């Protein structure tokens, strides 16, 4: 699966074992990030992904665009300076990463893994191993450090968003508990108090595109699978999201402040196929996905119409063209749906018990008849 990451004038495209850093401030400048050879961790008894499955599983760019970090399926955490092909350091995590994020100060990287733990890796001391910050009882799906670096926010597979103090994450500030399984709406939180302040129900906007059946059958659920956002100004933001099995990107304009938030669906961008990833930053929307003509497409935000339009900036079009010309990069990409792996399976133990009980009674009756 191909993924997008961006900060300042740096955009990183990852796919399989390939990672390309694109400089949007000038034309024809992109750097292939060289991953070190596959090496197994020295002290780890857990089985490592085989070479055939060796791939990039998570990545991030620091807020200034100076550093890039990549995590692989064999538990490597690799750090680069942007647009430098060779890494600064390679370290190992205890488990395979699900997400990785830089702290706002760029002094550390927070790695969330599939066993539910979050580790802190230093950016300034490259020889230090990861330090355990916190743990959940189920797989972590995302992690974030707040801009003031007072809190680390983690979300897991069991519908919990936890706000913990940072770096002393054993002190829990609040929980944000707003859904039961897959996310089908966008909620806005006062994360310090754990209070919901606004909600966007995406199902209301889906009706023109699909006949929605609301029931407990997981096949009819339409969860939001991709979401991205960026600021326009001090009182306005853009939120873009894509829903499973729908070839449309919804664009919402968010206005107001913590006390009063409003939203408006300003645009629905029709796509050729369901995208692999979307990225919104610096008033641009980047979309990458399967397409006959181009894998990567970029839109500009038009402040007059409050909608995205096709990008016309030469620097960006140049780097986009360089990616679209690398057809071999995406030739082996297949749509991998991980949603089914995240669903909680329900087992009817009562019915199984009743069947066994009937069988025992039938056997007992047969035994008594034989004795008579």
pLDDT given for residue 358 in this prediction: 86
Per residue in 186-203, pLDDT (tens digit) is 899 999 999 999 999 887
The residue that leads in pLDDT, 324 or 180, is 324
Distances (CA, A) of 183 to 71, 191, 200, 237, 318: 25, 17, 11, 20, 36
- Domain membership of residue 144 (yes or no) is yes
Percent of the chain whose predicted confidence (pLDDT) is above 70: 85
pLDDT given for residue 194 in this prediction: 92
> What is the average pLDDT across 222-238?
90
| Parent domain of 119 | 1-177
Integer Cα distance of 338 and 141 in angstroms: 12
Per residue in 273-311, pLDDT (tens digit) is 899 999 999 999 999 998 777 899 999 999 999 999 999
pLDDT given for residue 45 in this prediction: 47
pLDDT given for residue 43 in this prediction: 55
- Domain membership of residue 50 (yes or no) is yes
pLDDT given for residue 263 in this prediction: 95
Per residue in 171-185, pLDDT (tens digit) is 999 999 876 666 778
- Domain membership of residue 21 (yes or no) is yes
Q: For the CA atoms of 278, 7, 102, 337, what is the dihedral angle to 10 degrees?
A: 10
| β-bridge pairing 248-257 and 236-243 | antiparallel
The residue that leads in pLDDT, 326 or 144, is 144
Distances (CA, A) of 344 to 16, 334, 337, 340: 28, 24, 15, 9
Say if CB 89 and CB 126 are below 8 A apart.
Answer: yes
- Domain membership of residue 18 (yes or no) is yes
Q: What is the CATH number of the domain that holds 42?
A: 2.130.10.10
Q: How buried is residue 233: exposed, middle or buried, by Cβ count under 10 Å (0-12/13-18/19+)?
A: exposed
Integer Cα distance of 169 and 268 in angstroms: 40
- Domain membership of residue 47 (yes or no) is yes
- Domain membership of residue 23 (yes or no) is yes
- Domain membership of residue 75 (yes or no) is yes
- Domain membership of residue 187 (yes or no) is no
Domain count, the chain: 1
């Amino acid at each position: 699966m191909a993924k997008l990451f961006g900060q300042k004038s740096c955009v990183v495209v990852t796919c399989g074992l390939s990672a390309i850093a694109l400089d949007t401030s000038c034309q024809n400048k992109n750097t292939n990030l060289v991953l070190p050879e596959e090496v197994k961790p020295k002290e780890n008894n857990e089985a490592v992904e085989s070479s055939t499955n060796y791939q990039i599983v998570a990545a991030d760019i620091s807020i200034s665009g100076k550093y890039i970090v990549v995590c692989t399926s064999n538990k490597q955490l690799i750090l680069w300076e942007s647009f430098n092909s060779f890494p600064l350091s390679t370290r190992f995590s205890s488990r395979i990463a699900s997400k990785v994020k830089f702290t706002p100060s760029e002094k550390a990287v927070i790695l969330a893994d599939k066993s539910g733990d979050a580790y802190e890796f230093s950016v300034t001391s490259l020889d230090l191993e990861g330090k355990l910050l916190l743990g959940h009882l189920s797989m972590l799906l995302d992690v974030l450090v707040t801009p003031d670096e007072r809190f680390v926010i983690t979300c897991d597979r069991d519908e919990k968003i936890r706000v913990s103090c940072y770096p002393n994450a054993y002190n829990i500030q609040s929980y944000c508990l707003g859904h039961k399984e897959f996310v089908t709406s966008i909620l806005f939180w006062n994360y310090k108090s754990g209070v919901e302040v606004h909600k966007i129900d995406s199902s209301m906007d889906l009706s023109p595109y699909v006949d929605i059946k609301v029931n407990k059958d997981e096949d009819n659920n339409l969860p939001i699978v991709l979401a991205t956002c960026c600021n326009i100004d001090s009182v306005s933001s853009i939120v873009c999201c894509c829903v499973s099995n729908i070839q449309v990107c919804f664009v919402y304009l968010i206005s107001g402040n913590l006390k009063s938030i409003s939203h408006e669906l300003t645009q629905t961008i029709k796509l050729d196929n369901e995208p692999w990833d979307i990225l919104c930053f610096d008033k641009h929307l980047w979309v990458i996905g399967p397409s006959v003509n181009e894998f990567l497409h970029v839109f500009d935000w038009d402040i007059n119409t409050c909608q995205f339009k096709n990008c016309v900036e030469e620097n960006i079009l140049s780097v986009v063209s360089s990616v679209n010309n690398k057809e071999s990069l995406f030739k082996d990409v297949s749509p991998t749906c991980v949603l089914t792996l995240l669903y909680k399976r329900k087992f009817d133990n009562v019915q199984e018990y009743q069947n066994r009980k009937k069988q025992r009674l039938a056997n007992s009756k047969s035994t008594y008849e034989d004795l008579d």
